[in-house]
Amino acid sequence: KVYFADNLIKNHMLKNLEWKEKDFDKKFKYKLNNLKGKIVLPFSISNYDKIYNLIKNIYDKKLVKNFDKLTVKIHPNTPESLKQMELSEKIGKLFKNKKYKNQPRILLAIGSTSVIIENIILGNKVIQIYEDEISECISHKFWPDVKVKKLFNNVIIYSKK
């Protein structure tokens, strides 16, 4: 039997992965990583310039309200910490290093990470920059309770229905 943290996950497993109700034990309390107001950098980035240009494109086109209020969170175990700090500084200059007390309910995640679904469950909007749509993105087909909107190539925004 499986414990589950949220009905969104349980419903996904029942509807799309052919699990049965009897396979589940009970819901348990799990502290989700609420990363609202953050740009979360992954363990490794293959093309820093491309990532920066996609972030700049979102900012310049004003596609997301309060986007300039986000702050960068460098991956704690990355071997690329110098490159990630440089990217963080570039983004800070783009956003003019503004500091805000209230963090917007937005998360920007780069690549594939569990914080995407965790923050959707928490009710945050999640923007994802990805390289491979098939292997990295959340599909509405498998997650019917998640709204999926493609902003442009390599950028998707998710929210809870």
Give the integer Cα–Cα distance in Å for 52 and 150: 18
pLDDT in tens, 23-32: 998 887 777 8
pLDDT in tens, 74-111: 998 889 999 999 999 999 899 876 666 677 789 999 98
**Token duo for residue 104:** 């917007």
Q: Is-above-0.85 flag for pTM?
A: no
In Å, what is the CA distance from 19 to each residue of 99, 102, 118, 156?
Answer: 46, 40, 21, 28
